[in-house]
Amino acid sequence: MFTRVTSTALRVLTLSLLLVVAGYLNAQTNAYVPNQSSGTVSVINTATNTVTANITVGGSPDGVVVSPDGASVYVTNFNDGTVSVIDTATNTVAATIAVGGAPAHPAISPDGTTLYVPDEFGNTVAVVDTATNTVTAAITVGFGPISVSVLPDGTRAYVGNFFDGTISVVDTATNTVITSIVATTFPTIMHVTPDGTRLYITDEFLNQVVAIDTATNLVVATISIGGEEVFGLAPTRDNKLLYVGTFGSNSVSIIDRATNTIVPPLITVGTNPLGMEFTPDGAFLYVANFGDSTVSVINTKTNGVVATIPVGGGPVGLDITALSIPFAKFNINPLVVTPHDFLEVGSFTLGASSKGIDPVHTPVKLTVGTFSLTIPAGKFQKIGNSNNYIFQGTVRGFSVQFILTADSFNGRSFSYLVNVHGADLRSQPNPVKATLTIGNNAGATKVRYF
């Protein structure tokens, strides 16, 4: 029987699983799988379920998380205290960040600017600026921080402390712990649901999943899972189900979130499942099996395994990124710039391989030269049953109004208007490069301003 003592000696054999995925789009996607024994990351093309690359990283790669724009993959190397940064365009290591200690399962902010890396044996979380790949702060948390999950609005990060059974709640604006939740005995892997209302935590030794209400930071449910050693979990994007892996029983259970009960079927996968994540469209769940060095692919309509993919030795984590899809057309009118704000009006047509956009569930990023602004997933509102969307609120201290309107019944062409108050773009070059990214759909062009 696998025990925590054994797993600690091996690097605790836990799962890495935090996903920031550009969602609801069925473009080509890649799954990134850190192989602890091989010191590599296997890249799986999910369209063909084949390994297209094996990338050499640091010692005992463990945790993995994808940037919101899909451009970078961050892999923690438990044995050498580093994070390998993979460029997804080339599938090569573009940078190595020294964070020290024993880095475990990381998370990234919804705007992609900040990486949170727990040090399991140092009782801290390193805060990394992704623009410079440097550590800017170290947050002291509980005993044995092993995983992190961030709210969709980016305001709080939750840190699971394995050895003292607590969850540290971090205010991301100040990088300070604002409260500590006594949640379960051995909190292992955590996931905030896409709607941001619940934090789910697996408990390795008690074989259970605990649900925390993020509004009150109180435990609202405890769900017992059959089998031995519950590790990984993945909530569905529609907020209805939660898939949970059991390391000792080689299976995946399904929890109905409305009732917090297990529903059939129990899915048999490979040996010792750890990391798991859904494809952006939710059609498939990929599960890394540590014991037999494979990845199981589950069809979520039938809940049956439809493929088994050999990868490197001892796969621990798994994360999936959708490749960027360029707009077929992208135009921006001349910008209106004042000392206090700017107005951008434009239009775009989705590329041929795009299956649509979903601003409600995916981040929306706007850049003008060196100015960048990301509206996190969950902030846009859909207007009725139309393909029209609106956001009004404050992002990074800027007052933002963003209106997105469908120009066609099939939802392929859109017009948009963005007004940002508090930003002065007069020092930018003229013309200036501007980009718009919605999920993994993106466009770039040069535009003049007056």
Check whether residue 345 and residue 265 sit in a common domain.
no
What per-residue confidence (pLDDT) applies to 16? 33
Residues 200-221: what's their mean pLDDT? 95
Q: What is the pLDDT of residue 389?
A: 95
**Final residue of a structural domain among 322, 339, 372:** 322
pLDDT value at 156 more than 70: yes
Residues 306 and 373 in one domain: no
User: Mind giving me the DSSP string for 378-406?
Assistant: T--EE-TTSS-EEEEEEETTEEEEEEEEE
Tokens of 218: 């109180």
Averaged pLDDT for residues 194-198: 89
- pLDDT recorded at residue 342: 97
Domain match, 56 and 136 both: yes
- Amino acid (1-letter code) at residue 200: Y
DSSP state of 19: -
- Please enumerate in sequence order all residues whose Cβ is within 8 A of that of 207, keeping only pairs 6 or more positions apart, or say none: 224, 225, 226, 227, 228, 229, 230, 246
pLDDT of residue 23: 33
Looking at the fold, whether 307 and 358 belong to one and the same domain comes out as: no
Same structural domain for residues 240 and 182?
A: yes
Domain end point (choices 322, 349, 380): 322
Q: Give how far the C-alpha of residue 316 lies from the chain's centroid of Cα atoms, to the nearest Å.
A: 16
Partner residues linked to 43 by β-bridges: 32, 53
pTM of the model: 0.77
Q: Averaged over 285-299, what is the pLDDT?
A: 98
- pLDDT band for 409, please (50, 70, 90 cuts): low
- Residues with Cβ < 8 Å from 214, sequence gap 6 or more? 151, 156, 192, 196, 197, 198, 199
Cβ atoms within 10 Å, residue 133 = 17
* Count of other CB atoms within 10 angstroms of residue 125: 28
List of residues 6+ apart from 404 with CB closer than 8 A: 359, 380, 388, 389, 390, 414, 415, 416
> Residue 14 above 50 pLDDT?
no
CATH number at residue 30: 2.130.10.10
The sheet carrying 107-108 orders its strands as 107-108, 114-119, 124-129, 134-140
Taking the C-alpha atoms of residue 90 and residue 346, their distance in angstroms, rounded to an integer, is 31
Q: Residue 182, Cβ neighbours under 10 Å: how many?
A: 11
Are 290 and 401 within one domain? no
Domain containing 288: what range? 4-322
Co-location of 263 and 159 in the same domain: yes
The rounded mean pLDDT for the chain is 90
Total domains present in the chain: 2
Cα angle for residues 156, 122, 102 (degrees, 5° grid): 95
Is the pLDDT score of 105 beyond 60? yes
Predicted pLDDT at 26: 38
In terms of domains, do 313 and 335 share one? no
Query: What residue type is assigned to position 247 of the chain?
Result: F
Query: Mean pLDDT, to the nearest integer, of 397-415?
Result: 89
Number of H helices, E strands in the chain: 1, 40
Same domain, yes or no: 250 and 356: no
Residue 9: in which H helix or E strand, if any?
Answer: helix 4-10
Q: Which residues contact 9 (CB under 8 A, 6 or more apart)?
A: none
31 with 71, same domain: the answer is yes
Q: Are strands 145-150 and 72-77 parallel, antiparallel or unpaired?
A: unpaired
Tokens 């535009």, located at residue: 447
Residue 300 has pLDDT above 80, yes or no: yes
Report the sign of the C-alpha dihedral through residues 229, 309, 263, 17, in that order. positive
Tell me how far apart the alpha carbons of residues 364 and 389 are, in angstroms, rounded to a whole number.
Answer: 12
Residues 330 and 318 in one domain: no
Residue 5 has pLDDT above 70, yes or no: no
Per residue in 228-279, pLDDT (tens digit) is 899 999 999 888 999 999 999 999 999 999 999 999 999 999 999 999 999 9
Which CATH number fits the domain that encloses residue 396? Answer: 2.60.40
Judge if 114 and 9 occupy the same domain.
yes
Of 296 and 153, the one with more pLDDT: 296
Place of tokens 């609106």: 390
Q: Report CA dihedral (43, 77, 143, 162) to the nearest 10 degrees.
A: 30
The 3-state secondary structure of 94-124 reads EEEEECCCCECECEECCCCCEEEEEECCCCE
Q: Which of 287, 322, 357 is the last residue of a domain?
A: 322
Residue 401 contacts residue 419 (beta carbons within 8 Å): yes
Over residues 364-396, the pLDDT tens digits come to 989 999 998 988 877 899 998 888 999 999 998
- Reported as a single tens digit per residue, the pLDDT across 23-69 is 333 356 899 999 999 999 999 999 999 999 999 999 999 999 998 77
Q: Which helix (H) or strand (E) holds 242?
A: strand 241-246
- pLDDT of amino acid 250: 97
Q: What is each CA distance from 205 to 228, 278, 450, in whole angstroms?
A: 8, 25, 63
